[in-house]
Structure 1
Amino acid sequence: MAIDYPTQSPVSFPISFYGVCWLFITLFAVLCLCALSPVVIAAQANQNSNSESESAAVVELSAPKSVKKLIKKHISLPEEPFAHDIAQAAFVRKIRQEIKELLATEGYFTSTVTLEDHLTGEKPTLKVVPGPRTRVTEVTIEFQGDLAVEAPEHHQRIEQLRASWLLTPRKFFRSSAWEEAKAALLSSVAEREYAAAQIVSSQAEVDPAAASAKLRIVIDSGPVFYFGDLQITGLERYDQSLISNYASFQKGDPYHRDKLLAFQAALQNIPHLSSASVSIRPDIAYHQAIPVEVILTEAHSRRIAIGAGYSTNTGARGEINYRNYNFLNRALNMSSLLRYEQKRQIFSAKIDTVPDENNYLYSLGARVERTDIEDLRTFNQKVSLTRDRTMEKMRTQLGIAWQREERQPVGAPDTTAHALALDTWWRYHNVDNPLHARRGHITEMRIGGGSQYLLSKRDFVRTYARHQHWWPIGARDVLFLRAEVGYTLASSRDGIPQEYLFRAGGIQSVRGYDFLSLGVREGDAIVGGRTLGTGTLEYVRWFTENWGTALFADVGDAADSWRSFKPSLGYGSGIRWRSPAGPLALDLARRHDTGTLRVHFSIAVAF
């Protein structure tokens, strides 16, 4: 049995002020020491190593800071005294050649290296004068092949390629930068249409006296390549249409490397396969229809997972998850889940089709759920049919669902709600890193509703929108903004299932408050209201690559109308860790109206 911790598990509980302060300070200090001690030890060890190396050498090195570190890194100085003058002369000849060649790679072509003897008992000094550093003064980039044929689109692309050249005039000439610039230019030509592009000639003409370099490179693009048939190997249980539907290109489309990579990434993410490789062989003889080689390894079609965990929100839990990726031998994805928690129990089953040629996926699902949160007990049964489409940066979903819900609020009458709702959902994301976003934004919108004339107890229309934005500050820091708003248009909340109403509080909502504790009071229970509005402003200061601290403020409320809407405020600070599983957050939040302090813990992507 594997212990399975929830990927998004907000934890919130009240504790005393002084106890929290001491706990928080102690934990923060321990984490900082754990994070920094390896760095300090490594730095000390490195310093000791360098000191020992310098003291052991029988020759002192004298060179400008710009090259001294480079020489120490790549050149070994003698640790034994010279046996005689001949050995010393041989050393000088050898070290002079090595240093000159090393400095030439960094653009120093007129360096001088001399060994100066001192009084008896003093170390001789190896003196290095690098001379002026060579700069690029001229760059010539020429093209041959189909790309050189006179055409407006070719002219525009050539200008773009020349503008993207990395080693531009006035920059220092370095051998590694020269090779990197050539490789980047060739890659840019070959990534689209010209898969067989190659460098015909390249030359760096260096004038040591003038400390200048003239660069010239000629690239032959070759002919335009077009996608041909898919050559799929490794399939046994599934039809080839399962694979071809994930390709974003058709036979006869111009070659594009990004489309191949996207095709491979899509195949690697589907559960039917354990591995996938997509490639072409850029043979000019087949440029009019280049075969696309797809090498696959199928995964086991059935999986069972057993897990256990604990959350302060819902208590201890255990679950069993069963999946069949080849249900009815049609590559259908059937999944079922049985989860038992102290405050919530769920049984669900769903069947998904594979995406078709237009990237649409259809799902048929059923769910039974019991909850007991904030003195509101619910028993919900739901059946749904949805159509889902996932693109590179956008996902859309259209569905219809019928559900029946029994509500038992403590201190108020029991009620029953049911609805047949048509729902649509749209999400656009553009972030630099899905796990650790630092730049970008995500926007999500949802609208749905039901009618009394179509199996619903009440007419309603539910609208919801959320936006999240990340701005990089300085070299590492991040400013994060989140805003969400929701409104259910209806004459009353009675008869509407909780899914189409709103509650707030907790992680990714208003910290300082219990999970879903902001809403409408009905008896002793908190139930969903028809309005929602929350927002977050958070600044994260990263001290190292993986450790940082955050300052935040949350505001918001859920109510039955905008007139009764009274925003609640929570604020505080926390610790951040970029764990392999995602960003970990440990926050200490203060509820503004009562001064109550709560600790919130989560490890999840904030999407």
Structure 2
Amino acid sequence: MRRGVRPLTWPTALTALALLAATTAQAQALATAPAPSAPVVRDEASPEEVTWTLEIEAPEPLRALLQRHLDLSRYLASPETAQVPRTELMRLRQAAPAQARALLETEGRFGATVRTEATDRGERVPVVPGGPALPQVRLRLIVDPGPQTRVESARIEFEGALSLAADAGEARAQELQRQARESWSLGPGRPFTQDGWSSAKGATLALLRAQGHATAAWSGTVAQIDAAQAQARLFLVADSGPLYRFGEIRYEGLDHVRVDAVRALENFAPGDPLREQTLQEFQARLGRSSLFDTVAVQMEPDPALAEAMPVTVRLRERPLQQATLGLGVSDASGPRITLEHQHQRWFGWGWQARTRLQLAQTDRLAALDLTSHPHPGPYRNVAAALAQHAEASGLAVTTQSARLGRSKDDERLERLYYLEWQRVRTRVIDDGSVNDDTTALSLNYQWIWRDLDNALLPTRGTSLSLLTGAGQSYRATPRETGAFARATGRLTRYERLGPWYASARVQLGQVFARDAVAVPYTLLFRAGGDDSVRGYGSQDLGPVDADGAAVGGRVLAVASVEAGHPLRRGDPAFQGAVFVDAGNAEASWKGFNPLLGYGVGLRWRSPVGALRLDLAYGQQARRLRLHFSLGITY
């Protein structure tokens, strides 16, 4: 504020600015009124109807702005107003310069000059085929937009609860004020436009509201324009309103899910600041629990209840029981039929049960997976049992396993640790001889981290999964009993490269044990197949014994790069792809020999995951193989 000038109240200041803008616009309109040009429209007061053409001479994109919004353009674009009395056309012409300057000011052009020229062509043309011929007038709108106005300074002040808390030294409030000022998008040097001004103000309010000030509003904003210097000085005052805090959480729609299981997913405590991100994370936790079909977390801000704001959570539970019959085909097992049953409260207990029965050409499976309703942490207990008979790479593999553990899922991180017992028996398909019969007990930890733009259909980001375990194996021959450890890791990166959708993955694994110690076949490694090295059958790659029967490798390495391009411009749902895979499983790293597979494919980004159809050539197999898969693997 300048010395000697009496302070203005906000209403007075805003009124003065509005009057100043109106006076300036009138003065500019008088100063830039077009002089008659020759030849000119004859008898401008004539009621005779005419049609016209319009040429706008202005830089892009200002020309497009004027073409879209000027009355002259809009009248001409409509068949109902494409012909008007000559007097009406002249009215539109006289109003055009002021209209144009007002439109240009929204783009920060406050020093624009605009003039019009009108020429009677002396021609008569029909407006519509077969209609009467009317005189045609040529109009030109000539624009000198002047310099682009840029922000010279921007000052943001705060009042309300946020200001009081910051003045009292509260770190949270001081940090929020700093964030609001630093994130202001219309800073010094930036072009000043109406859209930019509105967007910047909206983003700042959104930040304050997301951080617990749900009723934040601007108590005053001023943009002081110096048209001669093409500069804008901005001053804003934000009233934060009260800081809202969590109060009572009201759950609606619960039936077979107990309320304490839902409360275990709460990521806040009563009295915590009620932030938008906290609510979104809570809603995401409820959605990932697989207990509900729909989740809606709502609140109606009321300043009188700010210290303990009630929040309503509306839930629609999944059906208590649900059965699914599926038919499919895969490269690994051929045609298959699957029956799956889910129960949300197994035997009345707080457990979800998922039962699967699968019958395929080379794979038969029965499995039961149990997951408890959430416990505080939030943790969930897990239990599983499986019996499977599968045939691959000349071996028939019979597996029985049982698992007991606990899981915890956060927004980006999944953790699972479990104790597992399994027995694996393998025999040679050709002669039926037993190849291996080993039992193992192991303690395992699985860790999956994702930073993806979309968990189901990623196009940018990274995922990393690690699985480690250690245990004891048992076999009929005592000398083959002993301790072992196992570790696997998989890193996948997704990236956009112009119109291309690229991905790359690396997978490594190793079993640590003495050569004499037997390890169950399912804990060893084989390579090849849809999600490994394409161009080879599932588990076709790996060491074999003296009789040519497949045995598991103790080391694994697989790498892949892929690039997809939309088949139709602007539609990424359908893509063509090229890829190269390399990898193998071996008994040891010494003499490790990666094998190559490469080819082309089609991609459909379906609502339930990425569907892939690949035609790959295996360098060692020397043949083409078709691969089909749905979804992604972490």
TM-score (structure 1 length as normaliser): 0.84
Structure 1 pair 172–352 and aligned structure 2 pair: CA distance change class (3 A)? same
d(CA) in 1 for partners of 2:64, 2:455: 37
Judging changes above 3 Å, is the alpha-carbon distance between structure 1 residues 450 and 177 closer, same or farther for their aligned structure 2 residues? same
Greater Cα shift, 131-140 or 108-117: 108-117
Call closer, same or farther: CA 1:155–1:497 in 2, change over 3 Å. Answer: same
SS at match of 1:68: helix
CA spacing shift, 1:108–1:275, aligned 2, 3 Å: same
Rounded Cα–Cα distance in structure 2 between residues aligned with 1:398 and 1:454: 25
Question: Residue in 2 aligned with 1:144?
Answer: 159
**More deviation, 419-428/223-232:** 223-232
Change (3 A) 1:476 1:152: farther
SS at match of 2:550: strand
Indicate which of 392, 411, 414 corresponds to 1:395. Answer: 414
The change in CA–CA distance for 1:469 and 1:371 in structure 2 (over 3 A counts) is: same
1:297 Cα deviation (Å)? 2.6
**1:531-553 Cα distance to aligned partner (Å, 9 max, x none):** 11111233445564415444432
Aligned to 1:440: 461
- Secondary structure of 1:120's match? strand
Whichever residue aligns with residue 102 of structure 1, its letter is: L
Offset of 1:123 from its aligned partner? Answer: 4.5
Q: Residues 390 and 397 of structure 2 are in contact (CA less than 8 Å); yes or no, is this contact kept in structure 1?
A: yes
What pairs with 1:432-471 in structure 2 (closer than 5 Å)?
A: 432-452=453-473, 458-471=482-495
Aligned to 1:483: 506
Measured against aligned partners, the alpha-carbon deviations of 1:335-392 in whole angstroms (never above 9, x if no partner) come to 1111111111111112210121101111121111110112111111111112111111
8 Å CA contact 1:406, 1:416 repeated in 2: yes
CA–CA distance in 1 between the matches of 2:493 and 2:296? 34
Map 1:20-99 → 2, pairs under 5 A: 58-64=52-58, 65-74=60-69, 75-78=73-76, 82-93=83-94, 95-96=96-97, 98-99=99-100
Distance 1:466 1:320, change over 3 A: same
SS of match in other structure, 2:178: helix
> After the TM superposition, which residues 259-338 of structure 1 pair with which residues of structure 2 at under 5 Å, given as runs?
259-338=278-357
Q: 2:273 aligns with which of 223, 234, 254?
A: 254
SS for the counterpart of 1:345 is strand
Q: Count the aligned residue pairs.
A: 551
Cross-structure match for 2:27 = none
Tell me if structure 2 keeps the 8 A contact 1:410–1:524. Answer: no
- Structure 2 counterparts to residues 49-448 of structure 1, below 5 A: 58-64=52-58, 65-74=60-69, 75-78=73-76, 82-93=83-94, 95-96=96-97, 98-109=99-110, 110-121=112-123, 123-129=137-143, 131-132=145-146, 133-148=148-163, 149-150=166-167, 151=169, 153=171, 154-410=173-429, 413-414=433-434, 415-448=436-469
Distance in 2 (alpha carbons) for counterparts of 1:452 and 1:313: 28
Letter paired with 1:116: A
CA distance in structure 1 between the partners assigned to 2:282 and 2:460 by the alignment: 25
Kept after mapping to 1: 8 A contact 2:383/2:405:
yes
Query: In the superposition, relative to structure 1, how do residues 250 and 477 fare at CA in structure 2: closer, same or farther (>3 Å)?
Result: same
Q: 1:235 to 1:107 in 2, by over 3 A?
A: same
Distance 1:81 1:341 in 2: 71
How far did residue 138 of structure 1 move? 2.1
> C-alpha distance in 2, partners of 1:165/1:562?
55
Equivalent pair of 1:493/1:529 in contact (CA under 8 Å): no
Q: Give distance in 2, aligned partners of 1:328 and 1:57.
A: 82
Q: Which has the higher contact order (CA 8 A, sep 6+)?
A: 1
Alpha-carbon separation, structure 1, partners of 2:293 and 2:591: 53
Corresponding residue for 2:525? Answer: 502
User: How far did 1:57 drift?
Assistant: 7.7
Matches of 1:528 and 1:258 in 2, distance apart? 47
- 1:415-458: CA deviation from partner (whole Å, max 9, x where unpaired): 32212221111111112222343332222111113225899954
Name the SS for the 2:211 alignment partner: coil
| 2:561 aligned residue (519, 525, 537) | 537
The Cα of 1:504 is off from its aligned counterpart by 0.5
Structure 1 residue 503: Cα displacement: 0.5
Unaligned runs of 5+ in 2: 1-49, 124-135
Matched residue type, 2:406: R
* Deviation of the 1:164 alpha carbon: 0.5
- Is the 1:336–1:349 contact (alpha carbons within 8 Å) kept by the matching residues of 2? yes
State the distance in 1 between where 2:145 and 2:312 align: 53
- Aligned CA distance change for structure 1 residues 451 and 271 (closer, same or farther; 3 Å): closer
1:562 aligned to which of 589, 606, 631:
589
- Structure 1: runs of 5 or more not aligned: 1-55
Q: Deviations over 1:466-503 (max 9, x none)?
A: 21223443x44344331111111223487432221100
SS of match in other structure, 1:124:
strand
**How big is the alpha-carbon RMSD for the aligned residues of Structure 1 and Structure 2?**
2.7
Letter of the 2:527 counterpart? A
What per-residue deviation string (whole Å, max 9, x for no partner) do you get for residues 131-181 of structure 1? 123322221111112322322724443222211111222222222221111
Secondary structure in 2 matching 1:58:
strand
Q: 1-side partners of 2:609 and 2:258: how far apart?
A: 35
Give the secondary-structure state (helix, strand or coil) at the position aligned to 2:345. strand
Partner-residue secondary structure (3-state), 1:287: helix
| Alpha-carbon contact 2:440-2:474 (below 8 Å) kept | no
State the Cα distance separating 1:314 from its structure 2 match: 1.0
Match of 1:591 among 609, 618, 626: 618
Q: Give the letter aligned to residue 448 of structure 1.
A: G
Asked which structure has the greater CA Rg, the reply is: 2
CA distance in 2, matches of 1:297, 1:541: 39
Shift of the 164–296 alpha-carbon distance from structure 1 to 2, 3 Å rule, reads same
TM-score for both structures, normalised by structure 2: 0.80
Q: In terms of mean alpha carbon deviation, does 372-381 or 204-213 score higher?
A: 204-213
CA contact (8 A) 2:52 2:139 kept: no
Q: Which residue of 2 aligns with 1:11?
A: none
Per-residue CA shift, 1:192-234, capped at 9, x if unaligned? 2423322111122233444332222111223333222212222
Alignment-derived partner of residue 11 in structure 2: none
Letter in 2 for 1:299: R
SS at match of 1:224: coil
* C-alpha distance in structure 2 between counterparts of 1:337 and 1:392, whole Å: 28
What residue number does 2:8 align with?
A: none
Give the conservation status (yes or no) of the 8 Å contact 1:366–1:384: yes
Q: CA offsets, 1:294-331, max 9 Å, x none?
A: 22233321111111112232111111111111223334
> Which letter does structure 1 place at the counterpart of 2:152?
T
Q: Deviation above 6 Å: which 4+ runs of structure 1?
A: 453-456
Once residues 588 and 550 of structure 2 are traced to their aligned partners in structure 1, the CA distance between those partners, rounded to angstroms, is 15
Of 390-399 and 487-496, deviating more is 487-496
1:215-274: CA deviations, max 9, x gaps? 221112233332222122222333211221111111122222111111112223333323
Check 1:270–1:394 CA distance in 2 against 1; reply closer, same or farther (3 A cut): closer
SS in 2 for 1:288: helix
Structure 2 CA distance for partners of 1:203 and 1:454, relative to 1, 3 Å:
farther
The 8 Å contact of residues 379 and 405 in structure 1, kept in 2 or not, is answered as yes
Provide the rounded CA distance (Å) in 1 between the counterparts of 2:261 and 2:621.
57
Q: Secondary structure at the match of 2:463?
A: strand
State the one-letter code of the partner of 1:536. Answer: S
In structure 2, distance between residues paired with 1:544 and 1:493: 58
